[in-house]
Amino acid sequence: MSVTHDEFTIEREYPQTPAQAFGAFADPALKERWFANPGNWSDAEWELDFRVGGGELNAGGAEAGRHNLFRSHFHDIVEGERIVYSYDLFHDRRLISVSLTTVEFLAGEGGGTRLLFTEQGVFFDGAVAAGEREHGSGRLLNRLGRFLAGEEV
């Protein structure tokens, strides 16, 4: 059983204002449209309680595919500027990672938004059994191959 720590930042520029970009995280009607169903899940569940002390839940999976569960807790919300939350991620009901996410809405070019999405996480290697692990990464490579070939994966 081992753990891996990982930290990365994804940066995005959007032409809309930081207040509008923030709104797409805060307004349930907007957030649901880009967040709630990442993989065309057949049974997606999604709930958002956007306030410090509240959280978000997103669960589901493709038919006959892996079941995914995301469960977060909001720690810090500064209107139009920053959102900090932590979350658990489960694959087939096994805890696979725990992460701390910081979303920063900075002034971008021409009144737009420079969004910084930083995630610091601990990933549990032991959450995947050894045989399944090799199988899993082989499957991932195969999917990667199909994806690169321009197929839907």
Partner 1 sequence: MATAPTLDSAFQALADPSRRSMVTRLSRGPASVSELAAPLEMSLPAVVQHLDVLQKSGLVRSEKVGRVRTCRLEPAPLRAVEGWIAEHRADLESRLDRLGDVLDATFGRDG
Sheet strands side by side (includes 3-14)? 3-14, 113-124, 94-107, 82-91, 68-78, 55-60, 45-48
We find the least distance from the C-beta atom of residue 44 to partner 1, in angstroms, to be 13
Instruction: By CB under 8 A, tell whether 134 contacts partner 1.
Output: yes
> What is the rounded distance in angstroms from the CA atom of residue 50 to the CA atom of residue 127?
30
* Among residues 1, 93, 148, 152, the one that binds partner 1 under rule CB under 8 A: 148
DSSP characters over 94-116 = EEEEEEEEEEEEEE-GGG-EEEE
Question: Could you tell me how many residues of this chain bind partner 1 (CB under 8 A)?
Answer: 46
We find the least distance from the C-beta atom of residue 24 to partner 1, in angstroms, to be 6
* Among residues 62, 65, 81, 133, the one that binds partner 1 under rule CB under 8 A: 133
> What is the rounded distance in angstroms from the CA atom of residue 136 to the CA atom of residue 152?
18
If DSSP codes are grouped into helix, strand and coil, which group holds residue 48?
strand
Select the span of 14-22, 42-50, 79-87 touching partner 1 (CB under 8 A).
14-22
We find the least distance from the C-beta atom of residue 99 to partner 1, in angstroms, to be 9
Site for partner 1 in 37-56 (CB under 8 A): 38
> What is the rounded distance in angstroms from the CA atom of residue 19 to the CA atom of residue 103?
13
In this complex, which beta carbon is closest to partner 1, that of residue 53 or of residue 90?
Answer: 90
Residue 15 DSSP symbol? S
Please report, as a single letter, which amino acid is at residue 50: F
Give the footprint of partner 1 on this chain (CB under 8 A).
Answer: 2, 4, 6, 8, 10, 12, 14-17, 20-21, 24, 30, 33-35, 38, 89, 91, 96-97, 110-112, 115, 117, 119, 121, 123-125, 128, 133-134, 136-138, 140-142, 144-146, 148-149
